[in-house]
Structure 1
Amino acid sequence: ILVVHPSVPAKTLKEFVALAKQKPGALNYASSGVGSTLHLTGELLKKRAGFDMVHVAYKGAGPAIAGLLGGETQVMVGAVPSTIAYATAGRLRALATTGAKRHKVTAEIPTVAESGYPGFEVNWWFALLVPGATPKSIAERIRNEALKALQHADVQTTVVRMGLDPETSTQAELAARIKRETGVWAGVIKEAGIRAE
């Protein structure tokens, strides 16, 4: 979810991009560290929307949010669970979500794609992986048990509250997703000149 400090006059992502274009490099965006998903998402947004802002790397999401709340930075792309309460309380302003579609927890907030940047999609996702040498029967049992767990109402509620939409895939589908996203993020890293610290 893209959130801004209340001192930023933009009420929409389009207004924010226009502001950033008027003042190249004057806005600072917080991330949880160099190479983090938050950092890379900020770089991808800059590239797609054609504006510049300065990256400020913190040592974790908590310090990054504190920096944004304190006005050290003006914008951040953060996880729903760590930012939505501040947006709801008016301490931050939510401009857009980064997924392909609106999420149940943030249904009133438009996506980046809906805000004028079609095809922009960054999803927070998790996968259950096992070592390559794991026997197929054991890997299948682990997958089946995980699928059963996802059917429990309390697990579904917790996952949705975390800002995630439970979905399943085959091993081949997951491998294809990892390959596709590795290509996207490798391009962002190369173009932005990001180096490990």
Structure 2
Amino acid sequence: MSNKVNVSRTHRRQVVLGLVLGAASAFTTGQALAQDFPPKKTISMVVGFVPGGAADTGARIIAKKLGENLGVAVTVENKAGAGGNIAHQYTATGPADGSVLLFGSVGPLSIAPNMMKLPYDPVKDLAPLTMAVNFPNVLVVHSGTGIKTFAEFIAAAKKDPGKLDFASTGPGSASHLAGELLNDMAKIDTLHVPYKGGAAALQDLLGGRVAAWYATFATAAPHIEAGKVIPLASTGTQRLGGLPQIPTIAESGYPGFSATNWYAFVASSKVPAPVLDLWNAELVKVLSAPDVVEQLNKHGLVPMPGSRDDLARYMAKETATWGRIIRERKISAQ
């Protein structure tokens, strides 16, 4: 009996000692990582789209402030192609030291996994850092359509099913799925016309070769001001700050409608957790800075910094929502 008690006590002491040493080792490792942070003198912020668009604009505003705060160079790398998937694959298979941050987007992170087999897994290969910005599209029509209000748009779609068309920046893009969600909720049949990018979609919209587009506010604003396109409704849960007189689709008879663009920071899942946590803290600090908020808002981008877990939950919710629409509407990548 005595020997068993002694063995038990010895075992407990060994377990406790092991836990203490493990905690001490983790603390020391965390301290070392913090002291070596940021991991390099130059940090890469990868963007999956060409310069000049909303993603590139937002990333450059954030990169500038991040570099100033940390005293390092933060360079924006545009790795456009495949709807942003090239940039996401590059980051997923890239360095594991935390020197590469990805300004990820809704398409590759939550839509594409429902439409195609990807060379990376957004959940397993990419680690969430924080939501960056979330912003709605605005449904605009060419001035020559004669449509002035959202109600008139719905009426026109119901009068001639399949005739009223809308542009998108490609199958499965945010602008495409916004139209498909409205088709689903309003029981209408508007015709999807995919383009290879925003520039081509805008050109045909302005030329009257396509009737409508769920455009970003930054892209549509100058053409709205010039009277070339008419804004009908926004796709978020709140009205656009730049177009406060334009209602949301949700308040126009379709409660619950929400189809927003969002960009979030992620990194390779191979990066150590303490480094991921440090990046979260630094990025949240930047996204909360008044000057950064003001600059992003000017471009219709709404900063929404949060925890790593917040972003993981949001990505899962978006993946489920768009997965349902993609399956029910039989949307393919072609």
User: TM-score by structure 1 length?
Assistant: 0.94
Q: What residue number does 1:23 align with? A: 160
* Residue 76 in structure 1 maps to residue 213 in structure 2: yes
Offset of residue 157 of structure 1: 2.2
Of 113, 126, 129, the residue aligned with 2:263 is 126
Q: Relative to structure 2, which stretch is displaced further, 90-99 or 160-169?
A: 160-169
- The answer for unaligned runs of 5 or more in structure 1 is none
Q: What residue number does 2:251 align with? A: 114
Letter in 2 for 1:77: Y
- The answer for unaligned runs of 5 or more in structure 2 is 1-137
Which structure has the larger Rg?
A: 2
Question: Which structure carries more strand by proportion?
Answer: 2
C-alpha distance in structure 1 between counterparts of 2:282 and 2:308, whole Å: 15
Of 172, 177, 185, the residue aligned with 1:40 is 177
C-alpha distance in structure 1 between counterparts of 2:231 and 2:142, whole Å: 9
After TM superposition, where is structure 1 displaced by more than 3 Å over at least 4 residues in a row?
151-154
C-alpha distance in structure 2 between counterparts of 1:195 and 1:170, whole Å: 33
* Residue 196 in structure 1 maps to residue 333 in structure 2: yes
* Residue 163 in structure 1 maps to residue 300 in structure 2: yes
Question: Root-mean-square deviation (CA), in Å?
Answer: 1.3
User: TM-score by structure 2 length?
Assistant: 0.57
Q: What residue number does 1:7 align with? A: 144
Contact 2:177 2:259 (C-alpha < 8 Å) held by counterparts: no
C-alpha distance in structure 2 between counterparts of 1:176 and 1:155, whole Å: 25
C-alpha distance in structure 2 between counterparts of 1:147 and 1:174, whole Å: 12
* Residue 104 in structure 1 maps to residue 241 in structure 2: yes
Percent of matched pairs sharing the same residue? 38
User: Cα deviation per residue 1:47-87 (whole Å; 9 max; x = unaligned)?
Assistant: 11111111111110111011111111101101111112111
Letter in 2 for 1:191: E
C-alpha distance in structure 1 between counterparts of 2:242 and 2:287, whole Å: 18
Offset of residue 11 of structure 1: 1.8
* Secondary structure of 2:261's aligned partner: coil
Of 266, 276, 280, the residue aligned with 1:139 is 276
Q: Relative to structure 2, which stretch is displaced further, 56-65 or 154-163?
A: 154-163
